Amino acid sequence: MNDNHFKFSTAVIGLPVFFVLFLWIIYWVQIRFDFDFYQNGIYPRDVSGLQGILFSPFIHENLNHLYNNSIPLLVLLSALQFFYPKQSFAVIGFGILFSGLITWIIGRENFHIGASGLIYVLVSFIFFKGIQTRYYRLVALSFAVVLLYGGMIWYVFPDVDQNISWEGHLAGFITGFVMSLFYKTPEYAKPIVYDWQKPDFNPNEDAFMKHFDENGNFVNTEIPPEESEILSSYFNSDISVNYIITNSKSEDKSL
């Protein structure tokens, strides 16, 4: 496998910049016109709270909340678009939907807002997918994600900070892991070089593998009758051969 799959495009920068800029525009509208978008967040186990599954990632409580989510989104969305361009939009879209739905099911009775759930989706997906591919660049990306955002794992537990939506974090982490299993990356699979690497390979029908038993020991296979007759014609003969043995030392002495 080569590295031609890693191609830089304008979407690597454009996607995260557009997404984060959209969050800031919504927040500006909220404070400029004094809109109360909090009620559009996820309210668990309430029918009207289902709207928050779509709207909550774009709503933030204050400037500090928005800023803390903006930097990870810029980094993670860029990495997602560069290394997994075929899966990026599906991971973002379905990540928002399923993490929001899980939050709606398990969350406390309060409004849950913010893009942190999506951040956990991205962290989880990039980490687990890189390990699953076993491709050195993607594994290195997984370790880089752990190095940068590994401390976030503590915020999926309820006792760490009651002021944050740990349910949304946990939902995002679970969603990212499940999506890493669901979305395959055949472009990063190792190329098939040998017949035994093929999925339909049958060792019982392979001529070479027939020389070995189930324990891996070499087995001298029988020669077919036709080949046995051909070989016997080369090595069997009715012509008698007489050999004369002379002593070279005695001949030297006579000279």
Domain coordinates in residue numbering, the chain: 10-182
Q: How far apart are the first and last CA of the chain?
A: 76
Provide the CATH topology of domain 10-182: Rhomboid-like fold (1.20.1540)
Q: Which residues of 108-143 are buried (b: 16+ CB within 10 A; e: fewer)?
A: eeebbbbbbbbbbbbbbbbbbbbebbebeebeebbe
Q: What is the pTM for the complete model shown?
A: 0.75
pLDDT at position 194 is: 60
* Residue scoring higher pLDDT (5 or 51): 51
Return the C-alpha torsion angle 16, 55, 89, 97, nearest 10: 140
Q: Are 77 and 18 in contact (CB under 8 A)?
A: no
pLDDT band at 142; cut points 50, 70, 90: very high
Percent of the chain with pLDDT over 90: 58
Q: Are 130 and 142 in contact (CB under 8 A)?
A: yes
Task: Please name every residue paired with 112 in a beta bridge, in sequence order, or none if there are none.
Answer: 42
pLDDT at position 161 is: 81
Query: For residue range 214-232, what is the model confidence (pLDDT) as tens digits?
Result: 676 766 665 555 555 554 5
Across the range 118-147, mean pLDDT stands at 93
Average pLDDT of the residues of the chain: 83
